[in-house]
Amino acid sequence: MMRMSAADASVLDEIAAIAVMPGDLVERAKALLKPLQRITPCDAAFITAFDPERRVQTPLLRHGYTAAVMRALDGPQLTDDVEQAGLHGPSLPVRMGDLPVPVETLPTWSQHLYPAGIRQFLSTGLFARDGRYLGVVATNSADPRPATEAARLLLARAAPWIGHAVDPLRTVSAIARLVGDAVAGVALTRAADIVPLTGLPGHPLLAPGSPVVLAAAARTAGGHPLTTFLCPDDGEDPGGGLFRVSMLACPPQPPGHLRRVLLLSPAPYPHGLTRHELQILGLLIEGWPLARIAVELSTGVRVLTGDVELILAKLGAASRHMAAARALRRGVYIPAELTRSVRREQR
């Protein structure tokens, strides 16, 4: 690669310094405006974070646009036009003349940017180091002269840092560090899909649509910052080990699809409770009467009543309500969803 000029190196240093700042990704995106203006002269600029579930480019930074243009940038058209422009895959930054399609065919350009007096742009897609598509950065100018080749190469070098600055998984991975003994984890999206975390492996129990993920998704309604429950680590062997599942809420941040962090930690059997007793607690937490629990667990009400008495003693609880409330707060129960999924498989 060409040797960079001292001015270019200082722009890149500035961008890298912003990228490694702790805190909020919107703040970092906003701080990037100045170095962007140093890459190429421009009258307006934006950075977006792509929400893959709603397929919208959520704004992180917007500077210099009219209200009408901003409304246009909010819509789904931008997502289509960004794809048409080839900015959803790795490529060199593009100016108007570098587009793979005629610029007039992009409605965001022909209906909004051009009528607002914008005549040129320099834009590139943003990607994380592991290849995840993160969003777009663009600068616009009223001056029809295209950005120089040097500016284009400088933006290409800066793009990985800009991507790092706006990577939403950074916040999410920091939250995952709160559970120090976690051995596996994923991020859970708005649509109950999963996204791998940086720094922690995934796990078959945390596959999309798995009983653990469904049980976790069913527990997001209370708006709790932290929810924990137990999960057998094999599903079959009643003497097998347990995992503690911890679900932590992600702070609201663009693009907004990453909602929870799900983590697995090895856990001992708590308070001397057996797997069967932890399943009973899971059903008591649902508010089920004993007769229904007995049917679900294929046991008799009389036997179950004895089991419940033992559970109360082990938890030091004076009543079933109290035992279930304690189990809920301590996360010492196997959720009904996990008990039922095993039963269904056995049928």
Partner 1 sequence: MTAITPPAHQVLDEVTAIGGHRGGLPERAEELLDVLHRLVRFDAGRIALFDAPRHRQTDLAIRGYPDRARQYLAGPGAIHDAELLGLHRDPPPMRIRDLPRPAAEFPIWAEYLHPAGFREGVLVPLVTPDGRYLGLFAAMSHDARPVSDATCALLGRLSRPMAHALDPMRAIEALAALVTDAIAGVVLTGSGGTVALPGLPGHRLLRPGSPILAEARTCYDDGDTRATFLTPTGPAAPSGYLNVTVLACPDQPPHELTAVVLLRPAGDLRHLCHREMTVLGMLISGCAIGDVGARLRIPAHSVRVALEQARAKLGTSSSAAAVMRAADHGLYLPPSLIRSA
Task: Supply the minimum distance, in Å, between the C-beta of residue 228 and partner 1.
Answer: 5
CA 110 to chain centre: 34
Which amino acid would we find at residue 342? V
Interaction between residue 329 and partner 1 (CB under 8 A)? yes
Measured from the CB atom, the residue of 269 and 288 that comes closer to partner 1 is 288
Interaction between residue 268 and partner 1 (CB under 8 A)? no
Residue of 97, 100, 144, 180 that binds partner 1 (CB under 8 A): 180
Kindly give the residue spans of alpha helices, DSSP state H, lying in the chain. Answer: 6-19, 25-31, 33-39, 67-74, 77-84, 107, 149-165, 169-176, 211-218, 275-285, 290-296, 301-315, 320-330, 336-346
Residue of 88, 328, 340, 342 that binds partner 1 (CB under 8 A): 328
b/e map of 88-122 (b: 16 or more CB within 10 Å)?
A: beeeebbbbebbeeebeebbbbeebbeeeebebbb
Tokens of 236: 């079959």
Q: Is 129 exposed, middle or buried (0-12, 13-18, 19+ CB in 10 A)?
A: exposed
How many CB atoms sit inside 10 A of residue 59's CB?
A: 20
Interaction between residue 346 and partner 1 (CB under 8 A)? no
Report the helix count and the strand count for the chain, using DSSP H and E: 14, 10
Task: Supply the minimum distance, in Å, between the C-beta of residue 274 and partner 1.
Answer: 18
Residue of 55, 145, 321, 343 that binds partner 1 (CB under 8 A): 321
Rounded to the nearest 10 degrees, the angle between the axes of helix 320-330 and helix 275-285 is: 100
Footprint on residues 144-173 left by partner 1 (CB under 8 A):
none
Rounded to the nearest 10 degrees, the angle between the axes of helix 301-315 and helix 320-330 is: 60
Task: Supply the minimum distance, in Å, between the C-beta of residue 208 and partner 1.
Answer: 24
Distance CA 320, CA 308 (A): 8
Footprint on residues 225-254 left by partner 1 (CB under 8 A):
225-228, 248-249, 251-252
Residue of 157, 177, 275, 276 that binds partner 1 (CB under 8 A): 177
Task: Supply the minimum distance, in Å, between the C-beta of residue 226 and partner 1.
Answer: 5
Interaction between residue 215 and partner 1 (CB under 8 A)? no
Interaction between residue 20 and partner 1 (CB under 8 A)? yes
Residue of 299, 320, 341, 342 that binds partner 1 (CB under 8 A): 320
Residue of 325, 340, 341, 342 that binds partner 1 (CB under 8 A): 325
Distance CA 243, CA 275 (A): 12
Task: Supply the minimum distance, in Å, between the C-beta of residue 170 and partner 1.
Answer: 10
Interaction between residue 179 and partner 1 (CB under 8 A)? yes
Interaction between residue 4 and partner 1 (CB under 8 A)? no
Interface with partner 1 by CB under 8 A: which residues? Answer: 20, 174-175, 177-180, 199, 222-228, 248-249, 251-252, 270, 284-289, 317-322, 324-326, 328-331
